Chain A
């Protein structure tokens, strides 16, 4: 059975099409989910894509968090549904309190778009199993508010529990605490990161294909769940 991965479109979502393409290239079936529809249409996993949901005129992700579809996703995530938040999706996950901390304005105050090197710090999540521990990957980064912040205790906790999933290599692009690019929840089914793996799935249009691992990871995870 093909894995069905839902990709939510909020008003102002921009990378929803890219996420659906990435899902397809990973061999799964992309399912478009609408922000106003609570029904997840029996998907096996959900991606919250990049963009500027509702214009992000308040805090990024602050409005999207209250959309009807998020009610079901939050419920599902707590029950183990694999959820990946990319960029704006990461911001939505933090606003939803599915992940701790918050994303703030880049320390240099500019939007930045560049090919970013990352280290995979944890492969014990639904979205990173296809990587090797410590693997270095390159995926595009593009955001204006990507500075990850949390209080020291939360940061220590994340480190101690192995929940820092990605760290920035080379120069820290946005002032994120402890070079954190992405984190997971204690169960490992919810992952949020600022860089965009869906833009690194074809060497023709991206810096390489390092991003594919995110999407093949979840296909494997779901496959095992089904088999069990």
Chain B
């Protein structure tokens, strides 16, 4: 019997209503399957079932998170900066001078645990295509990463693979990696978080949207051939379901990346944009062709007809279902007017990119797919792409939350004298979370494209957008899972506050937000409560800070058995700086400059690095959030940068003030002498993680002007030290030489992974 005869056509489905179908194996629930039958008025064909199953998966449909994510729109602050909001491939922000910037963070968590190198590599590839599909030239990437315990044997498997994958793909693509995060915590042991952020730049008039309009316009698939990799990656497919005799029984669920192909795809696509050859465009990522065709068709005005036989294949044994579900990388789908097709194909040929007309926009309202002369899909595209199930999952504050919050760190033994304080400072600074990340970031190219103004370990990455005017953008990502575990609402706000502060610390004005919400299973009411609280917290805070969420991603099921990860909302903030030459770096580079602590310091150690490193403790409440204070602090940092009043700034977060001092001293190669201000104990002064604070280095000649400005605007400041010598010295307490500090801070990661 030939494969041809086995194809499940629309006609066949109509006459075999009772044929058993593998909906459960494809991850669909019984009522979801029933709804598909109701939509179609018959049972779905195998190909239709495949499409619905991937598009209605949690990953693609946001079915558990949608009701909560709606707040980002409902509570969005009024802003002129947003040119394209949530719902497109990525949001687009106006940064002035006719430029627009698009940016987005996404997760590639599950694939990166199974196959760290390819999982992380294709995470970069996917987010880069999202940015490209908006019409922008990708200009930088960042990677917020979370791993299990640094000394766990499996972390030695996962981390080097992830880092090599990010480097292997990103370096070969020619995008500078300008920052990110690396955090270790046992809660991520079986569920590492590999998030990837990309930022792209375009002119206002070049924004492209994913839609298929204009009857007769051609649908062109271009880029890599379609293979058997990543099939059902989004819906966790048991691939035996589609097995034909003689086929490989299992197809790999993790995609395999080819950065060279992606580099060609970028250059080719940008040339296509420049010649104005596309009417609509969409990248192929999760759910592959199923996603691209149904989303393009449902966003346009007509229907779409696709001839699946035309799709260039790497493996001729693929079934139509597999072709529709394949997540083969480095592919894009464009809608092109007939008169532009020839030129489009010529540009692709110039870049050695395979391009094939696979269909056309019709005047109907159906997505129709044909295979070997027979129709195998006939669906209303919106029902696939946008009208998936929506769940209001039950949520409940977990019973253990009260006990966790009651476990206050105030009861933990604190250092008794200067020597012990010194030991704790060294222990925190050299702990895996605080130690130098150079072993990782030195594997990434930060120079390519020649516009990197700031990169890791600076507070934010900064890219020059226009070499004539010096316009630039800054981006930071933050997310403290420990804070969010103690209080998800506050934790999410703290993530935003820190990221916002980091952008402002470098001299850029925060404009907009992207988020990657990493949580456990939505079927657990406790996790769902964390999710509901975190989204509510983030939406509320965005409203106050005037920074809308422009897009992002939700990653659920980061859970092994009953053990979920800490709720980890990773928040990326984009800022604009009119003149990148006025940037504020973090390094203490000039002897004699005065150190000022901005903001209020309270005794806040819940979820702190000190509690984690010294006592292995997580309990109490996270630091308090004062968003109005964050806003004021940012204004001060911006004004001081613009008017040349400060030479360095560093935000205070994990590890407190002393950690910031250590980092700025090591970066600049100068020591600091600190004096404990009245009213604070040395311990609180050094280790408290109160939010809304920053440390700045002020030239002596500017001190009066600077403190006058702070006083006039109501921001508390205290002179806490001076840049001097070759040690971090806390007067009356201890002295810690930079040599000893540097040796300890630099040795940690190489000792674990080198």
Contacts and interface: CB of A to CB of B under 8 A. Distances in A.
Partners in one complex: yes
Interface of A: 11-12, 14-15, 17-18, 21, 50-52, 54-57, 110-114, 140, 142, 144, 196, 198-199, 201-202, 204-206
B450 A199 contact: yes
Interface in B164-190: 164, 167-168, 171-174
B354 to A, nearest CB: 14
A14 B443 contact: no
A139 to B, nearest CB: 10
A201 B450 CA distance: 9
Contact of A11 (B351, B448, B467, B581): B351
Contacts of B171: 52, 111, 142, 144
Given A14-B448, A18-B449, A204 B581 contact: yes
Nearest to A114: B442
A205 B172 contact: no
Contacts of B580: 204
Contacts, number: 86
Contact of A196 (B260, B442, B447, B452): B447
B174 A51 contact: yes
B443 A111 contact: yes
Contacts of B167: 111
A21 B448 CA distance: 12
Contacts of B445: 111, 113, 142
Contacts of A111: 164, 167-168, 171, 443-445
Contact of A12 (B172, B441, B453, B467): B172
Question: Which residue among B164, B441, B447 has the maximum number of chain A CB atoms within 10 Å of its CB?
Answer: B447
Given A55-B260, A204-B580, A11 B174 contact: no
Contacts of B264: 11-12
B446 interface: yes
Interface in B232-276: 258-261, 263-264
Contacts of B650: none
Given A15-B174, A201-B450, 6 more contacts: A18-B449, A54-B260, A111-B168, A113-B441, A205-B447, A205-B453
B352 A205 contact: no
Interface in B314-353: 351-352
A17 B581 contact: no
Given A52-B260, A111-B167, A204-B581, A18 B443 contact: no
Interface in B432-457: 441-453
Size bracket, chain B contacts: 20 to 34
Contacts of B581: 204
A43 B464 CA distance: 30
Contact of B447 (A51, A57, A206): A206
Nearest first, the 8 A-B pairs at minimum CB distance are A55-B260, A14-B174, A18-B450, A199-B447, A52-B172, A111-B443, A140-B447, A142-B445
Contacts of B450: 15, 17-18, 21, 198-199, 201-202, 205-206
B451 A205 contact: yes
Nearest to B175: A14
Interface in B146-177: 164, 167-168, 171-174
Question: Which residue among A51, A144, A204 has the maximum number of chain B CB atoms within 10 Å of its CB?
Answer: A204
B444 A113 contact: yes
B258 A55 contact: yes
A10 B710 CA distance: 54
Interface of B: 164, 167-168, 171-174, 258-261, 263-264, 351-352, 441-453, 464, 467, 580-581
A17 B444 CA distance: 19
A185 to B, nearest CB: 27
Given A11-B351, A55-B172, A204-B581, A110 B443 contact: yes
Contacts of A56: 172, 260
B266 to A, nearest CB: 11
B260 A12 contact: yes
Question: Which residue among A12, A51, A54 has the maximum number of chain B CB atoms within 10 Å of its CB?
Answer: A12
A57 B447 CA distance: 23
Nearest to B268: A11
A204 B577 CA distance: 14
A15 B580 CA distance: 22
A178 to B, nearest CB: 24
Contacts of A201: 450
15 contacts: A12-B260, A21-B450, A50-B448, A54-B260, A56-B260, A57-B260, A111-B168, A111-B443, A111-B444, A111-B445, A113-B441, A205-B447, A205-B453, A205-B464, A206-B450
Contacts of A54: 260
Contacts of B164: 110-111
Contacts of B261: 55
B263 A112 contact: no
A216 B264 CA distance: 32
A199 B164 CA distance: 23
A111 B441 CA distance: 10
Nearest to A22: B450
Contacts of B258: 55
Contacts of B443: 110-113
Contacts of A113: 441-447
A12 B263 contact: yes
Question: Which residue among A142, A196, A206 has the maximum number of chain B CB atoms within 10 Å of its CB?
Answer: A142
Contacts of A199: 447-448, 450
A142 B351 CA distance: 26
Contacts of A202: 450
Nearest to A14: B174
A12 B262 CA distance: 9
Nearest to B443: A111
B708 to A, nearest CB: 30
